[in-house]
Every structure is written in C-alpha cells, then in structure tokens.
Structure 1
C-alpha cells in the first residue's frame, strides 16, 4: 500500500478568541478529513443502509470498549468496515458526543464516498468498503501555527521528549501515554501519544517514530502542534491540554439494567436457598 503523508500547516485565525493559539482542553473541533472520490452508485440504497447500521454500531459500542471499537456491516460488495477511537484522556460523555458528531460530519461531508476519514480533536473515525483492520498506514495530517515559535532553549528538548513518549506509549495497556517536560525557566511542555488498538505494539512504535521523522521540520521549533494519523496520533503543547480526571479509560464497568436484574435474581435465589440450610 502506498504511503501518503499530508502536511497541513494551519495558521490559526481565531487568535483573538484564543490568544494562546490552540483551543482549551475541553473544546472539541474538527481537525481534518479525507474523502475518496464519489466512487459508487448506490442504486438500491444497500450501501447507505449498511453504512447507517455501521455508524450506529460504532457510536453505541465505543464507550463500552474503552474508546476503541471496530465493526463490519453488510455482505460482499456492499460490506462496510468501520473504526472509531476516542482520545484516552476525555470523559465517557465527551467520547460519546464526539463519535456521534463525527458520524454526522462524515455523511454530510462525504455523502458519495466509500472510504472516509474524519479527525476531531477528541476522536477519530474511519470507514471503508475495503478492510483496513490491523493494517498500519502512515497517512497523517499535522496542525501547527507557522508563527508560534518556541523558546530556543526548549527547542532542542522538545523532539527528544516526544520521542520518549513515542517509545513508552506502545507498552501501555491502551497504547496511550502522557508526560510532562520541565523546561526550566520556560515552564513546562506537555505531550501525549496514542495508537489504535488493532495494530501491534511494534507497529504502534513504528507509526509514532515515522510521524516524528516525517514532520520533524514542521514541528521542530513550534511550541504547539498536533499530528493526526490513521493509526497513531501525537500532541505537544505548552499548557496541560489533557485531563487527569475521570476518563473513559479509567471508567469503572457498570452492569446493564438486564445484567443488574440477573444479578439481583441470583442474589434473591441464593438468599432463599440459605433459609433452608
């Protein structure tokens, strides 16, 4: 498969609203999209029916699976493969909201495409008529401010710091990792990396390393940047943009109402049986 890199320098025009350049951690926004050409004729509506079923399934199951879920809908020529990944630091409700929003954007922005990728700050969505599960791809976009240069004394530390995060993230249970760089008088720098969980840990490491190499000249002297790929993602900033609170990765399992009823029934039966012994 041909490797494709998309470099998108982003001069941020909302500096008057967000003087620090990037939005705050609790603000979600679309970061990019990629739609294949209008390459199918859905004469009987089968593909669209399967797509709606798939997108509903992704939105309904992503939280239960700790922010990453894949599924397939349909058969043969009209089969659709889909995946969704939420950023590991966000809450359960934000993951759910972002997933729903990304499915709406995908169908609105790419109504006649059968291979669609949508990047939001909080989540990532892709679907295709061809299977891509477990196939590590290096398609990526980067977002940075062309004028937002970092303190020269910190520039030499930034990339090694993110290289360290790239080395540690694959070994984490959810292939998600955050870290802080103490940059002396210039304050702190915050980094984060994450991979989709359908690729191997070694592919995750290769994916993150390749992003740092490919975009080195674009991000090397910037104090804020983000890279969104098909299988791995990286963020770097001069303020703590990620959450340390309750996240979808730390959310405790809660039994469904059906499961709760079954548990309650078992407990009631057990209590009744104990009365006879």
Structure 2
C-alpha cells in the first residue's frame, strides 16, 4: 500500500473536555476515524464475507487473553482475510472488549463491502485486509488537535523534546507502550503516551513514532493537546492525566479512580 499521510483538525478534544469522564479513565472511548477501500466484493461473495465474520469473532474473543493485541488470518486464496486488534495499554479488559465490539460494528456498517479497513477509536485500533500487512511498517496517520488550544510558547520546545524522548523509549518497553509525565519548567505538568502495534519490530516502532513527530510537526507544535493515530503507532499529549495509573488489562485489577477534568 502506498504511504498515505492524512492530517485533519477536529474539535473533538474540546467536546471531550466538556463532559464528565467515566470512572477509572480520564477520557472516554470516542471514534477517531476510519478508512475503507472501495467496494471490493459483492453480496454474492459469501466466502470472503463468512471469513471476515469469523475473523472479527476471533479478534473479539482473543484480544483480552493476548494482553490487548491479537492478529490472525482466516480462509484460503482469494477469500483469505488478515486482521488485528490493538487496545490501548492502560485500558481495562472490559473497556478493551467493548471498544473491539464497537470497532467491529463500525466496520460492518461503514465498510460493509470493503476488503480493507482501518477503524480508529481512542481506546483501540482495528484493521483487516485481503492482503497480509503483518510486520509491515506504514506511515498512514492522522493528527487531531484543536484550533484554539494553543500551548504556552515557553513550553512548546519542552513538550516536543519530551515526546521525542518517549518515542525513543516506548519501543523498548515489553508491550511497546509507555506513559510519561513532564514537569514543566514554568510550573505544571504535561502527560504523554506512545504505543505501537506488536506485529512490527522495535526499531520500526521507533521509526514510526519519530515519523509522526516529523510529519505533523507544524500541526501539533504549538498545541497543548493532541493525538496522532496511525496504522502502526500512536501518540497522545495532554495537559491533564488522561490515562490509568497501571495497565489494568495486563494486571486484571480494578483501575485507580481518576479525578474528573473539565
């Protein structure tokens, strides 16, 4: 697939910050975008459709027991389908399952005749294709910011260096997922998070995260809150703690209660 860079500015972050967050999480699970191929198969191609449904059922059934990331393939030859699901590393098991089911619902409704689809939610990422993409790093990505949400100029360089450091260290974590806190020199804190799909290797993970910072430098550079969603890696930057203290998915424990933020 050709490398595709998509940049769009949205007001979703403003909406998120105006509502009460669910207990246990500093954010809510909202859709972040989708990309579908053109209608690739007809209603008569029962083989592919059946395999796709089997694939989706398998992703939903296995993602939690595989630590928030699961990839599989179903079928043979022309009807073969490949897919993966990744949950954000701090999301608890029930949140991961619910996000997976939400993603599958969106795929079935909005990409109903597509042989390729990318579905981004804030808590998970679903992808499937009739061609194998496992282990292939791609720079497909979208950045979400807010036009009026500007960072203090004195913090801009600190924040960018902070996220650059996170892109260097996150790939070496056991699940290629990491959160970090920046103590701003002028006072206050910034919170960052980075994650990669676990089908790519650690060096590709680092390259993916670095590419996002480079490609969207002008979009995110002076923003206090931003998110980047890609095919292989993801980054979040905010002025409040939006993530859980621990990886509740991996620990199986109930998550810490975070304060509401407005």
Output the TM-score relative to the length of structure 2: 0.91
Q: Deviations over 1:145-168 (max 9, x none)?
A: 011001111111111000000000
**Offset, 1:13:** 8.4
Taking the aligned partners of 1:6 and 1:14, their CA distance within structure 2 comes to 21
- Give the direction of change, closer, same or farther, for the CA distance of 1:214–1:57 in structure 2 (3 Å limit): same
Residue of structure 1 in register with 2:17 after alignment: 18
Taking the aligned partners of 1:14 and 1:169, their CA distance within structure 2 comes to 27
- Give runs of aligned pairs for residues 225-236 of structure 1, distance below 5 A: 225-236=226-237
Q: In the alignment, is residue 5 of structure 1 matched against residue 5 of structure 2? A: yes
Taking the aligned partners of 1:18 and 1:224, their CA distance within structure 2 comes to 11
Task: Tell me, yes or no, if the aligned pair for 1:154 and 1:186 is still in contact at 8 Å.
Answer: no
- Give runs of aligned pairs for residues 259-274 of structure 1, distance below 5 A: none
- Give runs of aligned pairs for residues 164-243 of structure 1, distance below 5 A: 164-243=165-244
Task: Tell me, yes or no, if the aligned pair for 2:14 and 2:146 is still in contact at 8 Å.
Answer: no
Which 5+ residue runs of structure 1 have no aligned equivalent? 253-277
Residue of structure 2 in register with 1:271 after alignment: none
Q: Greater Rg, structure 1 or structure 2?
A: 1
Residues 176-185 or 38-47, more deviating: 38-47
Taking the aligned partners of 2:188 and 2:120, their CA distance within structure 1 comes to 30
Q: Deviations over 1:220-276 (max 9, x none)?
A: 000000000000000000000000145113338xxxxxxxxxxxxxxxxxxxxxxxx
**Offset, 1:141:** 0.8
SS in 2 for 1:192: strand
Residue of structure 1 in register with 2:258 after alignment: none
- Give the direction of change, closer, same or farther, for the CA distance of 1:103–1:41 in structure 2 (3 Å limit): same
Residue of structure 2 in register with 1:147 after alignment: 148
- Give the direction of change, closer, same or farther, for the CA distance of 1:28–1:68 in structure 2 (3 Å limit): same
> Please, what is the CA RMSD of the aligned residues?
2.0
Taking the aligned partners of 1:226 and 1:52, their CA distance within structure 2 comes to 30
SS in 1 for 2:234: strand
Which 5+ residue runs of structure 2 have no aligned equivalent? 254-262
- Give runs of aligned pairs for residues 126-165 of structure 1, distance below 5 A: 126-165=127-166
**Offset, 1:44:** 4.0
> What is the aligned residue count?
251
SS in 1 for 2:109: helix
- Give the direction of change, closer, same or farther, for the CA distance of 1:219–1:14 in structure 2 (3 Å limit): closer
Task: Tell me, yes or no, if the aligned pair for 1:62 and 1:69 is still in contact at 8 Å.
Answer: yes
**Offset, 1:74:** 1.1
Q: Structure 1 segments of 4 or more deviating over 2 A?
A: 11-15, 17-20, 22-26, 249-252
